[in-house]
A and B are shown apart, each in its own frame.
Chain A
Amino acid sequence: MTRRSYWLATVLLSSFLWIPHSQAGLFDWLFPESTYAQTQHPIVMVPGAFAFDNTLGLIDYWHGITEELRDEGAEVYVVNLSSLALHEVRGAELLNDVEEIIAITGAQKVNLMAHSQGASASRYVAKHRPDLIASISCSNCMNEGTHFAGNFSEFIQNNSLLNLLTVSLLDNLFNFIEAGSAYPSDGEFNSDYRGTQSSEALLVAASLDDYDRFNALYPEGMPSVDCSQINNGIDGHTGGGEELVNGVRYFSWGGNSTITNIFDPLDITLIPIVGAFMPEGVIWDGLVPGCGQALGTLLRDDYPTNHYDAINQTAGITKLFVDVPSIFVTQANRLKNIGL
């Protein structure tokens, strides 16, 4: 060892012993790796519609959420489901993905975290393979449908030309968005990967009627009273459903805010259009009525978030004082604490 080495060692070691009034990530190394969200089973994020490519992107759909979950020790995966399809179609796709993720990771089960229509796909999987699912955690989920879908379909079906034009326009719009995307590799709208999709199928699937059909087949975790039957689901609140069914735990939370950010392109474009087809006085989050957001233990249904804030869109610009990734990370901690 040379004299210079001793000098260097002295300087280095001294710097570790003397920690001044401190600022910064320089000291991140002092923290052990966080295990706050380190669930026993991997977490699979289940998106609603529109989770393809750059529209929101498979990972950007959950803006900043998956990164924080991983920072806190969770093993997280996203999946690519058909964006515009029937519940059972998305459910069957998710089941395939879950089977494969379990085979790849060697895990026994997975925890599903769903948003919007990700709920019905998750419920399909939990019904048919409860042995593979530890829990479903639902954020602003669509469990009773939205008045928008039925009213909008009725509106365009009254005019066959309008119907044809609208459906074609919507399909083309999604294809256009896809074609204009900069990074076509991470989940495409009309790719071979997920087959041809149809906005007509989405409108059917999101209707109150189709949810009545689906809920009759998949009642697990649903509230015992169908809130859509109370005043047409405009302001019905029925609380949650059973938390533990067939070994699967169900949790949900939601919001009741509509336009929360005037700068958010999603807020100022989608919500007014959808709102035009919603009944007067409805309590909703900008897409989904409050009454349909409950599944299993209803943790909270009045976060000041709208449907898109709930996944931290657009790019993290949401209403104040609600750090959306914290909601998901805290839920992962809850799952960890109950051994999931």
Chain B
Amino acid sequence: MNKKTFLAMSFATLFFCGLAVFNHFTDSNLPGNQDQVKLEAINQFAKPSPLYPPNAFKEVLQPPAMSETEIAKAAYKKFLVSPPRYLQGTDLRGGFLLDGQGELIITASIKQRFDYFFLMTQHILLAEIINIIHGHLVNELTEPALTTAKSLLADYVNYFNNYNELMKSHSPKDNNNVYELAQEIAHLRIDILGEEVSEIFFGQSQVLQAHNLKRLAIKNQQHQYSSNLELPEKLQKSQQATLSYVTSKQSIKKSLEAGATEQELKSLRTELYGEEAALRLHELDKQREQWNQYLSNYQKLNKMLIQAGITQQQKTAQLNSTFKQEYNLTDTQINRLAAQALITSLNN
């Protein structure tokens, strides 16, 4: 490194350190948010009770008075002490990310946090759920993030309220077109949440929905649904990984049908799954071969015993003792042989 480069890099380092220090001190004036980025992940639980009133949505649109905040905090505390069974043993999902000024960064994890609480829908009053979420927000956030979070919650609930109205205002006779409905819902999201929040909250699910509806449209020859059939790379990779077992199994089956040798099968498995997995699969092949031999013997003996005309109880006892003593199988294994033999008889 020459002298000029060294001096320039030193200057850059000092400059950025200065910026960082400036950033730190300006942030420290904000209440409770010294950290540049704070990811909340609180592992707490929730609480139950009955159904929601129609005006529940309006309540959240107004900032709660001090006493309402206390009520919300109490509701959240109660939730933490006694969560419903279906939320017991689970962590709160999602979280809040703050920027250097203590403002909430809008991410999909906020929706995940809201949705976690909304799993209590129809188990407790919607107004109570909203109260619990308010209590949670007050507990976890300070200004300016708190106001943003409350506003987002109000919009989120407002969206669902309008969604409800959308559903009510149609009947199957005047609109049973699921493609049009999906588009109406997308517009509703944008109208209420705004384009950016809508994209962040529902972007992935809308892409998936459009993809699936497009497939259905192709199948039903309804091409009016115009969306890109290609999924984004991230979703494609996710789906490929989830389908990997099924697709690779089909490749192997095709290869075997085409007369692949044992060596070719091993090579294909190594290519698909790696060497260790291929070895484990080879071991599984051997175990299955052995098992099929047991099954064949079981079915033969079963048939002989049926022909001998003994009772069901005697037959079972004879099969059990034979396979325990001669083949050293456990009760669980013998039960499995019996189940497999039953499949043959049920199919016949």
Contacts and interface: CB of A to CB of B under 8 A. Distances in A.
Interface of A: 1, 6, 9-10, 13-14, 17-25, 27-28, 30-32, 36, 54, 57-60, 63-64, 66-67, 70-72, 76-80, 86, 88-89, 91-92, 97, 99-101, 103-106, 124, 127-130, 180-183, 185-187, 192-193, 217, 253, 261-265, 268, 297, 299-300, 302-304, 314-317, 320-323, 326-327, 329-331, 333-334, 337-338
B276 interface: yes
Contact of B219 (A27, A181, A261, A268): A181
A99 B284 contact: yes
A250 to B, nearest CB: 14
Given A60-B212, A77-B245, A326 B115 contact: yes
Given A77-B246, A334-B89, 12 more contacts: A14-B16, A18-B23, A18-B100, A27-B97, A27-B105, A36-B91, A64-B208, A70-B238, A100-B249, A103-B283, A182-B215, A317-B209
B342 interface: yes
25 contacts: A18-B19, A20-B99, A21-B99, A22-B105, A25-B200, A31-B107, A54-B216, A58-B246, A67-B208, A70-B238, A79-B246, A88-B340, A88-B342, A100-B245, A106-B277, A182-B219, A192-B253, A193-B253, A263-B167, A315-B213, A317-B182, A317-B185, A321-B126, A323-B115, A331-B90
Nearest to A101: B245
A67 B215 contact: no
B16 to A, nearest CB: 6
B346 A67 contact: no
B247 interface: yes
A187 B246 contact: yes
Contacts of B323: none
B235 interface: yes
A106 B276 contact: yes
A63 B216 CA distance: 13
B171 interface: yes
A268 B170 CA distance: 14
B54 to A, nearest CB: 13
B181 A316 contact: no
A182 to B, nearest CB: 5
Interface string B86-117: 11011101000101110101111100100110
Contact of B200 (A13, A23, A30, A302): A23
Given A70-B238, A124-B339, A314-B178, A63 B208 contact: yes
Nearest to A266: B178
A212 to B, nearest CB: 15
B308 interface: no
Nearest to B343: A88
B187 interface: no
Contacts of A304: 121-122
Interface of B: 5, 8-9, 12, 15-16, 19-20, 23, 36-37, 39, 84-87, 89-91, 93, 97, 99-101, 103, 105-109, 112, 115-116, 118-119, 121-123, 126, 160, 163-164, 167, 170-172, 175-178, 181-182, 185, 196-197, 200, 203-205, 208-209, 212-213, 215-216, 218-219, 235, 238-239, 241-247, 249-250, 253, 273, 276-277, 280-281, 283-284, 332, 335-336, 339-340, 342-343, 346-347
Contacts of A262: 167, 170-172, 176
A211 to B, nearest CB: 14
Most buried by B among A23, A70, A181, A299: A23
B107 A100 contact: no
A330 B90 contact: yes
B220 to A, nearest CB: 8
Given A106-B277, A330-B116, A27 B208 contact: no
Nearest to B240: A59
Given A10-B15, A21-B103, A320-B164, A330 B119 contact: yes
A177 B167 CA distance: 29
A329 B94 CA distance: 11
A22 B36 CA distance: 13
Contacts of B89: 334, 337-338
B160 A320 contact: yes
A66 B196 contact: no
A94 to B, nearest CB: 12
